[in-house]
Amino acid sequence: MRWNKTITMVEAHAEGEVGRIVTGGVIDLPGKTMLEKMNYINQVDDSLRRFLVFEPRGYAQMSTNLVFASTNDEADVGFIVLQGDKAHAMSGSNSICLVTVLLETGMIEMKEPNTLVTIDTPAGLVRANATCKDGKCIRVTLDMTLSYADQLDAIVEVEGLGKVTVDISFGGIFYALIDPAQFDLQIKPENARKLVDIGTRVHRAVNEQLDICHPELKDLQGISYTMFVGYDDGGAMKGATIMPPGRIDRSPCGTGNSARLAVMAARGQVEVGKVLTAKSIIDSEFQVEVVSESTIAGRPAIFPRISGRGWIHGFHQVGVDPSDPYPQGYMVADCWGDAFDLLS
């Protein structure tokens, strides 16, 4: 073996969504803030993301998370989420994986019954409260970044579908929220491919037809994902986030439910402090709530809270031999989905 690059990771999942945490082999990236570091990946040098996320070292149904020293004195650790399309500013499920790994591997000292961890993300500070017992991180509760509804009942013209109504909302990243009843669909595993097809078409139309920009973080423009939002037969919130080039988040989705809560608050459909259950397409659960109301650039906004569980399921090391013809990896549409035009 003669690797010229070696990266070590801990494999974890949060309510079914895999989030690999890089624990060795990546020291730092250019940039004075996490946002600048993320922009370096997305705008200057994308090779590390491709190396870690694409086949043969990665696979479609997971994210890989870079861990750095914080650029903010208030935070304990910084992180950036790497996914199939680009580096992203925030992820709730990956934050749960991050905290679980940091505490259970001893990278940050675990304190029982609760350990507080502040995360420096490109979208701002996220404060995590981990419930711990007998050396296990039982549950992670995240006080998410300020979230707000950007556009309610926006209409876009979608190829093959006609007019589709969406809500544009920010929950750490931008989402287009879609009611699947418009297409006579329910959020169930057997409908996954249909949801992906519609979601990627809507994604394309939204970013082409709507002007979407964060009022304070000007580098955050356009939606990152679409998310189908509905309810199960028992009245619990249910959602399915569609991630380019074409897969569904297995977790209920932390940033997606933050965006959804912001829309519900804007419509007067949720009370401050009321804890709700949000389910994924596989019926895994987060507990979600609006902690408080606020404003951003004169608009109504909320501070959401997301709570879920994470589990370590493996330890992983990847590398590259200098003769390997695929140091940057590859994607094939049979597993990854075919909306390659949505990749950054």
Identify the active-site residue in 63, 91, 95, 147: 91
263-297 tens-digit pLDDT: 999 999 999 999 999 999 999 999 999 999 999 99
Q: Which residues contact 3 (CB under 8 A, 6 or more apart)?
A: 319, 320, 321
Residue ranges per domain, the chain? Answer: 6-145+311-342, 148-306
Identify the active-site residue in 97, 224, 253, 258: 253
CA distance 171 to 157: 24
Please give the average per-residue pLDDT across 219-240, as a whole number.
Answer: 95
CA distance 344 to 34: 19
Task: Quote the pLDDT of residue 327.
Answer: 94
> By the 8 A CB rule, do 257 and 92 touch?
yes
Cis peptide before 244 (omega within 30 of 0): no
CA dihedral 134, 131, 287, 78 (to 10 degrees): -120
CA distance 62 to 129: 24
**Kindly report the CA angle at 118 between 104 and 216, in degrees rounded to 5?**
140
pLDDT value at 107 more than 80:
yes
CA distance 184 to 194: 11
Beta bridge partners of 168: 151, 176
Residue 344 confidence class, pLDDT cut points 50, 70, 90: low
Q: Is 58 exposed, middle or buried (0-12, 13-18, 19+ CB in 10 A)?
A: buried
CA distance 162 to 319: 46
Average pLDDT value for the chain? 96
154-191 tens-digit pLDDT: 999 999 999 999 999 999 999 999 999 999 999 999 99
Residue-wise DSSP of 135-152 = TEEEEEEEEPPPBEEEEE
Task: Quote the pLDDT of residue 1.
Answer: 77
Q: Is 271 exposed, middle or buried (0-12, 13-18, 19+ CB in 10 A)?
A: exposed
Task: Quote the pLDDT of residue 219.
Answer: 84
CA separation, residue 73 to residues 21, 115, 125, 126 (Å): 22, 18, 11, 13
The backbone torsions φ and ψ at residue 158, rounded to the nearest 5 degrees and listed phi first, read -115, 130
Residue 148 confidence class, pLDDT cut points 50, 70, 90: very high
Strands 148-158 vs 310-319: parallel, antiparallel or unpaired: unpaired
Active site residue 169: no
Q: CATH top-level class for 6-145+311-342?
A: alpha beta
Active site residue 253: yes
Task: Quote the pLDDT of residue 343.
Answer: 84
CA distance 204 to 243: 12
CA distance 147 to 296: 9
Asked if the domains 6-145+311-342 and 148-306 are classified in one and the same CATH topology, the answer is yes
Q: CATH top-level class for 148-306?
A: alpha beta
pLDDT value at 215 more than 80:
yes
